[in-house]
Amino acid sequence: MKKLLIFFLIVPICCWAQSNFDKAEKLFQSKKYTEAQLLFEGILKSNPSDLKTLEYLGEISAHQKSWVKGAEYFKKLKELKPTVADYFFKYGGCLAMHSLEVNRIKAFGMVGDMKEAFEKAIELNPKHVQARWALIEIYLQLPGILGGSESKALAYSNELAQFSPIDGYLSKGRIDEYFKRYDSAEKNYKKAHEIGNSKVTFQKLYNLYLNKFKDPRKAQDLKRKFEA
């Protein structure tokens, strides 16, 4: 009898939680992030280790550009489930975005945690594209005295090329563009565009012509061909 009573007490709570989760999920999918957040926060109070709820709250924080809050959610996720590459990547991503909002000294102090998170994401998922892109940017943007390195950026670019030729060419183009080797960047972006012929590959080449070569005619020619 006692077990039966407990069952009847627990079932409505579980149904309520699931009902609210479904509502929150639909609100999230409809991009009603503030409303979804309130429901997910309520669910988290009764189940503070629910992975999906934590992930949704982390995503909502990222959409709202609340990078510190987002990092807290993804930090908890990677601690609860240390085998999921994306939790480490998203944690590092929130730190990286937050570093753009603080002074340079504080930002440089965050680099170690960012690199560690992205490297762990790659360790867990050897074909993690975004984590390699993040590391390429870190090694490009950091001053040499603080660990910036073109050769390390190129090493990650070469890794990308092994399983994603488009990302390999795009990342090499990005490195060339960063160091103002625009002719070489054009060659790499062209190769990427020949393979992918996508909005992303088009945009990289188009922006290079327009903003670096200062050649609007070349940019428009490319646009006409792409849209034909």
- For the segment 112-131, the average pLDDT, to the nearest whole number, is 98
Q: State residue 18's pLDDT score.
A: 62
Q: Please check the confidence at residue 17 and state whether its pLDDT lies above 60.
A: no
Helix, strand, coil percentages in the chain from 3-state DSSP, rounded to 5: 85, 0, 15
125 phi and psi, to 5 degrees?
-135, 90
**How many angstroms separate the CA atoms of 166 and 193, rounded?**
8
pTM score above 0.75: yes
Least confident range from 10-24, 36-50, 55-69, 203-217: namely 10-24
Confidence of residue 207 (pLDDT cuts 50, 70, 90): very high
Q: State residue 19's pLDDT score.
A: 85
Structure tokens at 160: 């990308």
**Count of CB atoms situated within 10 Å of the CB of 144:** 9
Residues sharing a CB contact under 8 Å with residue 190, sequence separation 6 or more, in sequence order: 205
Proportion of the chain above pLDDT 90, given as a percent: 88
**How many angstroms separate the CA atoms of 228 and 225, rounded?**
5
